[in-house]
Structure 1
């Protein structure tokens, strides 16, 4: 039996560590969505198929794990905005993304304080600015090629949608949130327009 090469062993450990981290973040996404930011970290470790010690090796505390989850969610939202920027209809792209952002705002109520964590291991990303940039790119395109109001800003839209998300997050029936989003879209375009 040959001894394992030290470089191969290190590479395997790094791969295992990366996979464990990915599993932990995915499990945390589920558990935090179900039970909120105070959810059991032991349950997250259990669903990820690792022990609590592995969780704490990757995430020293709850805030760092929350920040990792939110960062992943925000990056996915921004990737969606980037894909939508190439769609045929600039107006539909903005409407669709605002619907996705509303779902994000409703799902992440109570987790926003984690974005302000000042921990050395926390991701160095300004999630609020990333969202503003995504909204601005889609809004600017809709203003240039569509019918969106010229006096509307990305900050206006983000604040309005965040407000709807916060005020309707505890309401399991999403119908009111979608009605309020439709009102925002009507105002943004100056004519009736519905989210998709």
Structure 2
């Protein structure tokens, strides 16, 4: 009996996650947990058992994209210029956050000591070598952190998500932040 329940639980998890990916893509971080449960054919308690918080659900939905961004960080390390490598990767983070509704919210930091933000932790770890190199090259101030940069990106993406062209708006604001007021085209 216990083995059957584990198999049922695994199937429920997979079904909930698949439905959640569709709902988050359609409605962003505010996707209805009750709608996810209904569409997956499970009770809301089952959704909450697998994903006790909205953040846990968003992190699970975003996991593959986060892994892809970590790979991109490794690839960017091959660039000869530290600033270019960091900015190329940060451009990818912006683009991924715009394209994958809910990803920016999954990267939000909060002060909840009981729940580490695994998405943010993965991104920080992946971006750290790029940032250290850019700092070493003198392209970035020594007191800047990856967490600072991700907060900036999250703010930009959340501020532009309702824009008619959120990708262009987010890209423009990111360029503005990176280059400064006098150099925006």
Equivalent position to 1:41, from 33, 45, 48: 33
Residues 134 and 30 of structure 1: CA distance in aligned 2, closer, same or farther (over 3 Å): same
| 1:118 positional shift | 8.5
Residues 178 and 75 of structure 1: CA distance in aligned 2, closer, same or farther (over 3 Å): same
C-alpha RMSD of matched pairs (Å): 3.8
Contact 1:165 1:177 in 2 (8 A): yes
Uncovered stretches (5+) of structure 2, i.e. residues with no partner = none
Give CA deviations for 1:16-51 in whole Å, capped at 9, x if unaligned. Answer: 42232123123212212322444343532354xx42
TM-score (norm 2): 0.66
1:137 aligns with 2:129: yes
Contact 1:164 1:177 in 2 (8 A): yes
Partner of 1:151: 142
1:59 aligns with 2:39: no
Uncovered stretches (5+) of structure 1, i.e. residues with no partner = 1-5
Partner of 2:57: 69
Residues 28 and 98 of structure 1: CA distance in aligned 2, closer, same or farther (over 3 Å): same
Identify, as 1 or 2, the structure richer in helix. 2
Partner of 1:3: none
TM-score (norm 1): 0.63
Higher radius of gyration, 1 or 2: 1
Other structure's SS at 2:169 match = helix
- Partners of 1:33 and 1:25 lie apart in 2 by 12
